[in-house]
Structure 1
Amino acid sequence: MTKFSITKFVPKFLKLNPEARFTAREIAIWIMETYPEAVEQKRLNSNARKLPLDTYEAMLQQIISEIGAQRTSLEQRHGIRTTEGRPRRFFYSDKTEEDELIGITLLPPGDSVDAPTQYLSEHDLYPVFKDYLKDELKIVSKRIDERRSSNNRGVQGNRWLFPDIVGMEDLSEFWDHEVIEAAKAYSDKKTKLWSFELKLKVNGTNLRESFFQAVSNSSWANFGYLVAVEFQGSETLGELRLLSGLHGIGVIKFDPQDKSSSEILIPARERAEIDWGTVNRITQQNPDFKDYVKLVRQFYQTGDRLTSMWN
């Protein structure tokens, strides 16, 4: 009979399904279904025998906990990779970290590992993320296409100047008319401006470049964020927290398959005032950004967000 072993079962399952990402729960279910005798022997030979014979969920939770506890060993000794954020996912890949950054393959939710997979590019994220901003954060947003820039820096140079998506939060949406007029007379602001740099993946290879790209092109706003579908590596979030503490850029883990499951991992530090000098520089070089500034101005003048005008 096969002896129960997390460090044998988990790598075997993931290597049978290379590149696919699985939660500890999904792996534990496979272990219980594939090695029922080993699981039962574990229950009898350990503290798990105290569990009722019919408590499937309790045994499942114990295996999930052990997978989490063995994460470091799985990474260091067995070549298993993990994502950061919740839920953490485990996967096996022959690709280098550089190759991993090229794209991402997602399993259809609820389907088996044999189901057709969906290849996702960074540009595929933009419309879905804009829906997330509108539905979850109540932010109207606009895509900034660096290819429309009038300067001669080229795409690689422009990515340090232009954010991928910019947004406006209407603080006065539910204010009484008298309060809006009072704020206007007091010259107080009734919006907060947001800026986002999107990536498919952030890992040890591109972490600092991605973060400082967000610092470079998003620090003009009240809130600047680095957004990614996956954060890979056991030290990734720790380093991002350190960098965020120094520079104020926040971090969002975005789930394009279930927008409501996305989460702000590290809140951005609010900038009290807009950096209008940087705004002017970007406006002069990119028509998309100039349209964004125009929409913000029109909102202040008319009180109408002109939602249909935000792409």
Structure 2
Amino acid sequence: MEKFSITRFVPPVLQELQGDRLTAREIAVKVYERHPEACEAKRQRSRAVVQPLDSYEGLIQQIVAEIGAQRQHLERRFGIKSTEERPRKYFYSTSSDDADVQAVEEGKPVTAPLRFDDPTAVLPVPRKPMEAELYPLLSQFLFSELRISSKRIDEKRSRNSRGPEGNKWLFPDVVGIENLTADWSAEVIDCAKAYSDPRSKLYSFEVKVLLNRSNVRQSYFQAVSNSSWANFPYLVTSEIHGDTLAELRVLAGTHGVGVIKVNADNPSESEILIPARERTTVDWNSANRIASENADFVEFLNHVKYFQQTGQLKSQDWDYASDVG
């Protein structure tokens, strides 16, 4: 009878599923289906006290725990990768982190060998969304869940008067405004005007489809560079691999740029993983630098000025809005 082994049983499950993302529980169930005798023998041998293996469910939970305990070993030796989401999901890929990022940026599907015994057999994996496809999803989340009206900043509408590299990391992908007075009475709004207190907050968003160990620092500092003008700066992504979130927390502690994870399938389930650290004032010198090069940003500033003058946000000025009034 074969002996139970996480390192022998788990990699083939993920490899044969061609990049599908599975939770540890889903993997454990498939391991049991493929190797019932080895799993039952493991259950019989177990003397666990905290989690007795006197049932199928107890055995599955034990396999789940062992998958988690050996995650880093599986990643180093067998091409297994994992996401930061909870529950964590595992998948197989022969690509390096750099290659994964490049494939995502180019909108190409990732391919992986179909079987250990036939490394030439490949099947395409459904591609991830392109970065441009995340912009409207982000705008929907920002308005529906956070009441932030947002606008896309298109680099193609830039003058680039300083040469090909003169505006590198200058433009955020999306900018936004939060109306702090939305639920205020007219008397409170008038009083705030008299005191010249802020009635809005400005946001900056740098969007990346995927963050992993190869691109996390570059992506983060790109967000640092192009968001220095805003009250709240964010790096946005739809997928985070491995232990990248831990690195993001370290960077956020120093530089204050927050992290948002967009759920591409259901934008309403997107979430702020790391809140941005507020800057109490807008850096208008930095804003002027962007405005001097980009027409979309000039339009954004005009919409902000209109709100400051009238207290109104016109829905037609923003990428996702119903009646922002």
Instruction: Give the TM-score band, short-chain normalised.
Output: 0.7 to 0.9
Indicate which of 228, 235, 240 corresponds to 1:226. 235
Cα gap change, 1:63/1:145 in structure 2, threshold over 3 Å: closer, same or farther?
Answer: same
* CA deviation string 1:3-32 (max 9, x = no partner): 322222221111112333222232223223
- 1:1-311 equivalent positions in 2, closer than 5 A: 1-47=1-47, 50-51=52-53, 53=55, 56=57, 58-104=58-104, 117-152=126-161, 158-234=167-243, 236-311=244-319
Identity among equivalent pairs (%): 51
Cα gap change, 1:177/1:307 in structure 2, threshold over 3 Å: closer, same or farther?
Answer: same
**Structure 1 residue 61 displacement after superposition:** 3.0
- Name the amino acid aligned to 2:95: K
TM-score normalised by L of structure 1? 0.88
Write the distance in 2 (CA, Å) between the matches of 1:68 and 1:307: 47
Answer yes or no: is the 8 Å Cα contact 2:7–2:74 preserved in 1.
yes
TM-score normalised by L of structure 2? 0.84
Write the distance in 1 (CA, Å) between the matches of 2:241 and 2:7: 20
Write the distance in 2 (CA, Å) between the matches of 1:171 and 1:282: 25
**Structure 1 residue 43 displacement after superposition:** 2.2
| Aligned Cα root-mean-square deviation (Å) | 2.4
Answer yes or no: is the 8 Å Cα contact 2:258–2:275 preserved in 1.
yes
Write the distance in 1 (CA, Å) between the matches of 2:15 and 2:95: 13
2:120 corresponds in structure 1 to: none
Structure 1 residue matching 2:197: 3-state secondary structure:
coil
Answer yes or no: is the 8 Å Cα contact 1:146–1:158 preserved in 2.
no
Cα gap change, 1:27/1:264 in structure 2, threshold over 3 Å: closer, same or farther?
Answer: same
Structure 1 residue matching 2:224: 3-state secondary structure:
helix
Structure 1 residue matching 2:201: 3-state secondary structure:
strand
Write the distance in 1 (CA, Å) between the matches of 2:15 and 2:166: 39
Cα gap change, 1:97/1:21 in structure 2, threshold over 3 Å: closer, same or farther?
Answer: same
Cα gap change, 1:232/1:119 in structure 2, threshold over 3 Å: closer, same or farther?
Answer: closer
How many residues align structurally? 301
Structure 1 residue matching 2:176: 3-state secondary structure:
strand
Write the distance in 1 (CA, Å) between the matches of 2:268 and 2:36: 35
2:113 corresponds in structure 1 to: none
Cα gap change, 1:137/1:47 in structure 2, threshold over 3 Å: closer, same or farther?
Answer: farther
Unaligned 5+ runs, structure 1: 107-113
**Structure 1 residue 149 displacement after superposition:** 0.3
* CA deviation string 1:223-273 (max 9, x = no partner): 101111222233x22322222122111112222112233222222111010
